[in-house]
Structure 1
Amino acid sequence: MRAHDCLPRRLRRSSPADPADAAAGPRLLLSYVATLPLSSSEARLLAVVIAIRLRTARHRQDHGTGPAVPELTDPTQAVHTLRGLAWTIPDLLLDGPAEAPVAVTVPAPAAKDQPLPFGGAMRSRVSGWTTRTLAAKPLRKTAPAVRLGALFLATHSSPKLCGTLPADLPEACRATLPELLEKTFLAELSGEQYRLDPGLRHLAGILSGPANAALLPEQPQLVL
């Protein structure tokens, strides 16, 4: 990758498309979903979409104002799996019109410091970012584990498109990394380090941890 592909800091601050403000929100959301005792990537992806719309301390939400239910191989089974975690999800979520509001109740997270639900402004930004990411061209007609992995990688990347695989990345998503590279969602993958395709710069977040030096050792100019 050419050095000028990495935006200077002053441009990142002024760019209206910079998703930095929303980057913390998706990370919190995905960290929450990663803690759920789920083995199904379909159920986990559906949980992401539902959790975005959590509104109150009782975690009751109006799904009609959130992102659309993602395309799943077996959405009925995904709903059934979440119901097994005491999520109250009416059949209307799958059977009703897409624009119809659907009340869903989710148990409060066990961790007292869990930052969900989001405030209204953050919820809107996270919802928009999630919708844009799942609609990215390289993710079309891909399995739920691929799309879920893409969400993790996009939000844990920097504006320079570089990132380190997050520790809470589900194992099912790790197995899809070669496909994300083949589909050109990723431009490079080297061990635990990766780089998003330049065409996905509008989806990149900010690394949540300390600055990382030489994410790809063979390209030291990309030190964050």
Structure 2
Amino acid sequence: MFTYLLSVIPPMLLGAQLILLLILLKGDICPGQRGRIHKQLPIIALGWLVLGFLYWPLTLVGMLMLVFFSQVKVSKTRDSGPIWLLYFAIAAASIFNIQLMLAGDWGNMLFMLVVMVILGASLSHFFLLLARTRLQAFHRLLPVAVIIGAILITVVVLLQAFQYSMSYVNQIIVPLMVCYMSLIASVVFSSWHLFTQQTIQKTQPFCGFIVCLTSVIGFSALLFQF
């Protein structure tokens, strides 16, 4: 019934996971910031575990991340513990996402790739704000990634719509427009601090993520069924 979520949630989690782990393992940040980012990992792991109800192999990714989290002190992510578990979790998540992409048509594949960009950037940006990081470059780059992702997802949705009959497109035109308006709103929320030059707060990126997630799920339910 909710299998269309498989074209949204797994690529979103993988995108956010890649960004956070890149910062944790390669970023030049203090132990305090690293520890606060480390504490976000169980949230991503929980997402993978919940997805197991739709596609059980995805629970493996969540279990790997939880095992790593339980074995490492929050400030010692890259200095101790079984780092290989993190790489294995990324590999497993990538393989499962590829399997899901191949299960659909080319439109579904492109959609999932773009979702990885837009929702992965949006979710990881919110996690960085929750962790109170001072990585100003990411507070600029991730909103830009959301803007680019919104443009790409618009193109993919339009191309996919051409695969359906005009009668079906006419039936879904109103919800499609609602999804597009929500997508525009998410871009405004996510990048508002860039245009106003104000100090970024948690509220706007969080609203941007929720609205973007709702929009993308709507597109998936209407046009990208497995």
TM-score (norm 1): 0.26
Higher relative contact order (CA 8 A, sep 6+): 2
